[in-house]
Structure 1
Amino acid sequence: MSAPQWVTPVDPDAVAGTAEALFRSTFGGAADGVWTAPGRVNLIGEHVDYAGGLVLPFALPYVTVVAVRVRNDGILHAVSTHTGESWHGPLDDVAPGHPAGWAAYVAGVVWALRRSGHLTAGTGFDVAVHSTVPVGSGLSSSAALECAFALAVADLAGLPTDDSGRRQLITASILAENEIAGASTGGMDQSVAMLARPGHALLLDCRGGATRHVPLDFDAAGARLVVIDTNAPHRLVDGQYGNRRATVEKACADLGVATLRDVADVDAAVAALSSPAAQRVRHVLGEIRRVREVADLLDRGRITDIGDALNRSHASLRDDYEVSSVELDSAVEAALEAGAWGARMTGGGFGGSAIALVPADRIDAVVENVARRADTAGLPVPQFLHAEPSGSAHRL
């Protein structure tokens, strides 16, 4: 087995330089500016954002950068270092499913801002994209792209970018992902990309949009949070994510509530539903309780005590929500075996990433055991990322 593969954060100025170089080589001349937004990891609160639940994500030191220049012909021309592909076309033609692929997340933002009356029809953009957020890892590379570009558009169009303005950009980014890209995700990813604060997690109430910054100082606790990218395929648009969301929405209708947050008697609600809806609802309601539990522990500085809640979250996602995978289960089990306080899958599931809360002096042992277990089982080679609570989207 080769040495574990760490993905080291890249200095934002270096990331910006790559985007600017691509811009110049593609479009000639300089961009009007460069903007960045982070990927994210969710500490706890999975598959509850679209159920009106509570989530507790934080921004990562892995970012997407966009170099952008305004044009006055209503055309979008977007290029990316990731695929080497570009998209060029009239923004008037943007519609659900068009354009396809990564360009949908860029074009969709303009479509949403035009639909809400925040952007005039004649405005177009040249865009060059470079990212250090691993694509397909469940760390929200799509929201990082949406939010970096949304902030760029807002700055260039003179739209407000204070807290209220950022919340409007969050709404536009969610619409882009739901309506144009066709991914039925909730609003957690966009919210943390726009509102994150260094050294904190973001407690987001997805029912009303209220937020609170919760202190998260791993160094003070002698702890580390490791992100384990399993390198297993991670797909949110193949029907599985949408199926879970549809089941939750139907359960709400059957129970006569607007969201599952409105359920007063958990046991009665679960008993009133048949499988698999009963299992899905049990996960959502239990996960919301676990988010409250973890936030309370963090408020009291008890980071090392949240491990049990992380473990229970994974078991629920694996057994009741059925969104884990052999790669995710392997990573979680290996981390715990090597001394992690807690571990769980994170993100939408069906592949992607796991997290492990680890004593600082056990990090090498945990990482090596996760890699060894994957190698022995013939699973994809995982890679490991540093999870340091970072800041939100901004202009560089």
Structure 2
Amino acid sequence: MTDPAGGAPGATADVEHTTTAGTAARATAGTAARATAGFRSRYGAEPAGCWAAPGRVNLIGEHTDYNDGYVLPFALPLHTVVAAAPRDDTGWTVWSELTGDPVEFGPAAADEPGLVTGWAAYVAGVVWALRDAGYAVPGARLAIASDVPLGSGLSSSAALEAAVLAALVDLGGLDLPSGEQPRLARRAENGYVGAPTGIMDQSAVIRCRAGHALFLDCRDDSVEHIPFNLDEARLTMLVIDSRAPHRHADGEYAARRRSCERAASTLGVPALRDVAVADLDDALRRLPDDETRRRMRHVVTENQRVLDTVVLLRARRVREIGSLLTDSHASMRDDFEITVPEIDTAVEAALAAGAVGARMTGGGFGGCVLALVDADRAETVAAAVRAAYAERGFTAPGTVTAIPTAGTTRLR
């Protein structure tokens, strides 16, 4: 669930607007136009097509994925677009609007994790994962443009992997079932880049549907598309980029994971997903120290909050999920200890200004906050958060109101 700062090439724009289906489509078209222009400028030819993959936020279910639990992400109307065309040889050239410098690599570099570094490693990782799985990956020229902010917990790296994967699969006519694509994209990030992500990010950016959240069981990868109609409920989802610098995120993430693994081992279960809320008190008594108990309690209660949220959304009782979002944040703050002052300030200010619910989203130690607000109060809540930041001397946050969007697609 990490989103490594500087991972995928993309925009770091301060998004401060209301997103509707129409404006989302126009924004994606604009990103595709930039990718296409970059392809023409760099390669002196037209691309064979453009492929887009969205960023994502997790509505609820944090640090449950690597515990074989449940998550409920939805895709954002912010996209990474890859314009691509085949090459005559087996090699790959990739250009990003972020750096302006192309990176070229051949099969030897693609087949050896670590030989391609920086943002281009995410592209090489996709090639590596495909080749390692036995697919004949076509040589290609690629140009990348993105509006998914870097380092904000919105899965810029997964968006890049998914867009590149879709492009190479189409260009090569590869028989890769859509249900297998998230796991292959995750393998690119785990095995080539070396980032210990779970399956949620890639599943969300590839499999999400417009107007729905993706209920994902991280044990068996089964999914259900849950209606998430904010307009019908007269609500808006405000995504607040905290602009907080990530503080020791990699080491702390790994430490949380080890705590969960120790707890599961002590309890004699395959994963913390196997501890029911009804059995929580007994499980807590069996753990050796307070820190491990608090880490386990967050995961067990967070899994239940995901299940409760799904029940409410199926019944179209969207407003009632607000308290679950807020309880999730308190659990991340107090039991899992992954929030930072900027994040807590954004949540507190949003709730004080009338948000129905608010929580941190992502791996923690920076990133974004989700605030569920009445549709006519989005700017009021955003202004309250900005004022609270200014009072504390924090860098001004970015905000965007978002609708659940479709996953990876080829643009026509």
Q: TM-score range by the shorter chain?
A: over 0.9
Counterpart for residue 284 of structure 2: 270
* 2:223 is the alignment partner of 1:214: no
* 2:364 is the alignment partner of 1:349: yes
Quick one: which amino acid aligns to residue 175 of structure 1? R
1:181 deviates by 1.6
Q: 1:112 aligns with which of 106, 115, 129?
A: 129
> Kindly, what percent of the aligned residue pairs are identical?
48
| 1:7-26 paired onto structure 2 within 5 Å | 7=17, 9=24, 10-26=26-42
Counterpart for residue 10 of structure 2: none
User: Structure 1 pair 200/103, CA: closer, same or farther in 2 (3 Å)?
Assistant: same
CA distance in 2 between counterparts of 1:299 and 1:129 reads 37
Quick one: which amino acid aligns to residue 75 of structure 2? A
* 2:273 is the alignment partner of 1:258: no
* Structure 2 unaligned blocks of 5 or more: 1-13
Q: Is the Cα contact below 8 Å between 2:249 and 2:364 reproduced in 1?
A: no
- Report Cα offsets for 1:198-255 as digits up to 9, x if no partner: 1110100001111001111111111111000011124786322222223222322232
| 1:100-139 paired onto structure 2 within 5 Å | 100-120=117-137, 123-139=138-154
SS at match of 1:306: helix
1:106 deviates by 1.0
User: Structure 1 pair 74/269, CA: closer, same or farther in 2 (3 Å)?
Assistant: farther
Q: 1:371 aligns with which of 386, 395, 404?
A: 386
1:154 deviates by 1.0
User: How well do the aligned residues superpose, as a CA RMSD in angstroms?
Assistant: 1.7
CA distance in 2 between counterparts of 1:176 and 1:243 reads 23
CA distance in 2 between counterparts of 1:237 and 1:168 reads 29
* 2:245 is the alignment partner of 1:245: no
Counterpart for residue 293 of structure 1: 308
User: Structure 1 pair 254/73, CA: closer, same or farther in 2 (3 Å)?
Assistant: farther
* 2:296 is the alignment partner of 1:281: yes
User: Structure 1 pair 74/245, CA: closer, same or farther in 2 (3 Å)?
Assistant: farther
Q: Is the Cα contact below 8 Å between 1:227 and 1:355 reproduced in 2?
A: yes
CA distance in 1 between counterparts of 2:230 and 2:173 reads 38
1:59 deviates by 0.6
1:350 deviates by 0.7
The structure 1 segments of at least 4 consecutive aligned residues displaced by more than 4 Å after TM superposition are: 7-10
Quick one: which amino acid aligns to residue 16 of structure 2? W
Q: Is the Cα contact below 8 Å between 2:249 and 2:365 reproduced in 1?
A: no
1:370 deviates by 0.2
Q: Is the Cα contact below 8 Å between 1:184 and 1:241 reproduced in 2?
A: no
Q: Is the Cα contact below 8 Å between 2:253 and 2:363 reproduced in 1?
A: yes
SS at match of 2:232: helix
1:30 deviates by 1.4
How many residues are aligned here? 388
Q: Is the Cα contact below 8 Å between 2:235 and 2:375 reproduced in 1?
A: yes
Counterpart for residue 181 of structure 1: 193
| 1:72-111 paired onto structure 2 within 5 Å | 72-94=88-110, 95-111=112-128
CA distance in 1 between counterparts of 2:155 and 2:357 reads 22
Counterpart for residue 4 of structure 2: none
CA distance in 1 between counterparts of 2:270 and 2:86 reads 42
1:84 deviates by 2.6
SS at match of 2:290: coil
* Structure 1 unaligned blocks of 5 or more: none
Quick one: which amino acid aligns to residue 113 of structure 1? L
- Report Cα offsets for 1:315-336 as digits up to 9, x if no partner: 1111111111111001000000
